[in-house]
Amino acid sequence: MRLSRYFLPLLKETPADATIASHKYMLRAGMIKQNSAGIYSWLPLGFKVLKKIEQIVREEQNKAGAIEMLMPTIQSADLWRETGRYDAYGPEMLRITDRHERDMLYGPTNEDMITDIFRSFVRSYKDLPKNLYHIQWKFRDERRPRFGVMRGREFLMKDAYSFDMTAEDARKSYNKMFLTYLNTYARMGLKAVAMKADTGPIGGDLSHEFIILAETGESEVFCHADLVNMPPPGELDFDADLQPLVDERLALYAATDEMHNADAFAKIPEDKQLSARGIEVGHIFYFGEKYSEPMNAAVMDQDGKAVTVHMGSYGVGVSRLVGGIIEASHDENGIIWPKAVTPFGAGIINLKVGDEEADKVSEDLYAKLSTAGIDPLYDDRSDRGGVKFSRMDLIGLPYSITVGPRGLKEGIVEVKTRATGERENLSPEAAVKFITSEYEGIV
RNA sequence: CGGAGUGUGGCGCAGUCCGGUUAGCGCACUCGUCUGGGGGACGAGAGGUCGUUGGUUCAAAUCCAAUCACUCCGACCA
């Protein structure tokens, strides 16, 4: 993309209502625009990141055997009355009345609807297990939206729902998601820890929250320090018994404040006791027959007997992750995107637009990086160098190549790595080679 | 939902307490000149129903009332 043709409305000054880094930088870098309290438009740059995160989540879900579909944002109140949640959910649910005076709602989650879909079509134990998911906008009328997309009212969530014959099988489905989540966050450059969690209004008795540590996190968390740097499980054999891998994680203490057990925490060696703040980026539940029983979602077993299915649900806050990643990866100059989610793979800064040689080399780099699948952003505007440098730092592309007459006299361009600030003088060819190799396995 | 605030060009703010010329300032924007390797200089411009409605007054951004929106602090949550 050529910057001169892109839509990137940057702000020089920080808007007054932003108090945390991710919110500030998302506004300043032209990623989002607030439309109402807790409701945002995703501008082109922000949208690209959102889509990249969504795609990583999707790929990992698919690997684990979950099947993607799409349910509507607007639901009928009837389903929610069946499970008793229409009254139980409270004012967080946005209730709507249509022209026929029918009670509708903007879905805050989809357990009721997916259970209805399941019971409509699935009749036999032979069809189980199943895990269905979608990535869809949700609305929860938060009492107090804040922190930009980290606590919006409208947010994009991946929610998966598993169906099994027995509690034991459901545990297997749960384990798949548990480990898949760790891989998912790791791919985005995040260190996430699974913590014992409260089940809230979703209900159930087995639940974990996935937390990334950040000073601006909303929840207080306690865990064994080794969990933070534990490598992700990596390639998984989903047909094998995954319990040992899960147990490995659960052996070390980790809990959010509402589930915190001070005695258990005290047993951790003192230098490993980690008490910090965290951002919840995922939450998984096993809730058994909580919805399948009232909604009569049952299948025939081998003996022709109806068996109520065991369910679980698994959420990832996709839009929240955009903010979460920035909280975890930024400095005083702006965002530092992990390679897997960066909106553009590299920036090209032409310091003297109009200079024949600088234009030629920049265009050539742009063409070669594009062909290599790097998706470069070419700053072809005629601003001064300083403006371009700070702009590039703010939007945080992992690499940028500076092209200017001074360097070209020696036949070199400068490649800067955003995270380290390191700069290296290379020939244009070597610069392309370097960046391409850095993206090996990601593009 | 309790408490505290804020609404004035695109953004950040001053002016409001104590009513009175043409509502200012910085940044951004447009045009021109000089510039050009870390947010440049000078000159010339454009842009505002002072959130909304009503009231008081000869006169309202300023006082009063209502209302809407947004923010912050707390209690609750992907």
- Domain identity same for A401 and A316: no
- Domain identity same for A240 and A385: no
In a domain, A101, yes or no: yes
**Coil/strand/helix, residue A345:** coil
A99 touches strand B (CB under 7 A): no
Query: Residue A422 CB: number of other CB atoms within 10 A?
Result: 9
Distance A366 CA to B31 C1' (A): 32
- Domain identity same for A307 and A360: no
The pLDDT confidence band at residue A205, using thresholds 50, 70 and 90, is low
User: Has residue A78 got a pLDDT over 70?
Assistant: yes
In a domain, A355, yes or no: yes
Q: What is the mean pLDDT of residues A315-332?
A: 96
Strand ranges for A254-342 from DSSP E: 254-256, 273-288, 298-300, 306-308, 310-317, 330-331, 334-335
Domain count, chain A: 2
Q: Which nucleotide C1' is nearest A321 CA?
A: B78
**Coil/strand/helix, residue A158:** strand
- Domain identity same for A229 and A329: yes
Per the CB < 8 A criterion, the answer to whether A358 and A404 are in contact is yes
C-alpha separations of A189 from A56, A117, A342 in Å? 12, 35, 11
- The DSSP output letter for A85 is H
Q: Which residue has the tokens 């996935």?
A: A210
User: Has residue A18 got a pLDDT over 90?
Assistant: no
In a domain, A201, yes or no: yes
Q: Are strands A103-106 and A74-76 parallel, antiparallel or unpaired?
A: antiparallel
A282, A312, A334 — which closes off a domain? Answer: A334
The pLDDT confidence band at residue A104, using thresholds 50, 70 and 90, is very high
Which residues, listed in sequence order, are joined to residue A209 by a DSSP beta bridge?
A195, A283
In a domain, A11, yes or no: yes
Measured in degrees and rounded to the nearest 5, phi and psi for residue A165 equal -75, -35
For A388-416, give one letter per residue: b (16+ CB within 10 A) or e: bbebbbbbbbbbbbbbbeebbeeebbbbb
A370 touches strand B (CB under 7 A): no
* CA–CA–CA angle A102, A104, A110 (5° rounding): 145
Domain limits for position A270: 3-334
Q: What is the 3-state secondary structure (H, E, C) of A19-74?
A: CCHHHHHHHHCCCEEEEECCEEEECHHHHHHHHHHHHHHHHHHHHCCCEECCCCCE
**Coil/strand/helix, residue A355:** coil
Query: Residue A248 CB: number of other CB atoms within 10 A?
Result: 11
In a domain, A339, yes or no: no
- Domain identity same for A59 and A118: yes
A140 touches strand B (CB under 7 A): yes
pLDDT in tens, A147-187: 999 999 999 999 999 999 999 999 999 999 999 999 999 99
A100 touches strand B (CB under 7 A): no
In a domain, A443, yes or no: no
Looking at A196-205, A286-295, A380-389, which range is the least confident one?
A196-205
Spatial separation of the C-alpha atoms in residues A63 and A243, rounded to whole Å: 18
Distance A200 CA to B3 C1' (A): 27
For A129-149, give one letter per residue: b (16+ CB within 10 A) or e: bbbbbbbbebbbbeeebebbb
A334, A359, A387 — which closes off a domain? Answer: A334
For A232, the token pair is 């992700």
- Domain identity same for A173 and A38: yes
In a domain, A380, yes or no: yes
* Percent of chain A topping pLDDT 90: 88
A306, A334, A362 — which closes off a domain? Answer: A334
- Domain identity same for A177 and A280: yes
**Non-local CB neighbours of A269 within 8 Å, separated by 6+ positions:** none
* CA–CA–CA angle A15, A18, A23 (5° rounding): 110
**Coil/strand/helix, residue A228:** coil
**Coil/strand/helix, residue A365:** helix
Tell me chain A's radius of gyration from C-alpha atoms. 24
- Domain identity same for A416 and A275: no
- Domain identity same for A359 and A296: no
The pLDDT confidence band at residue A64, using thresholds 50, 70 and 90, is very high
- Domain identity same for A326 and A363: no
- Domain identity same for A113 and A196: yes
A90 touches strand B (CB under 7 A): no
Q: What is the largest CA-CA distance in chain A?
A: 83
User: Has residue A234 got a pLDDT over 90?
Assistant: yes
* CA–CA–CA angle A140, A160, A183 (5° rounding): 110
List strand B contacts in A 258-277 (CB < 7 A). 258
Distance A94 CA to B66 C1' (A): 27
- Domain identity same for A173 and A314: yes
Question: Which CATH number fits the domain that encloses residue A374?
Answer: 3.40.50.800
CA A30 to chain centroid, in Å, comes to 19
In a domain, A287, yes or no: yes
pLDDT in tens, A386-437: 999 999 999 999 999 999 999 999 999 999 999 999 999 999 999 999 999 9
Question: Which CATH number fits the domain that encloses residue A202?
Answer: 3.30.930.10
pLDDT in tens, A124-154: 999 999 999 999 999 999 988 999 999 999 9
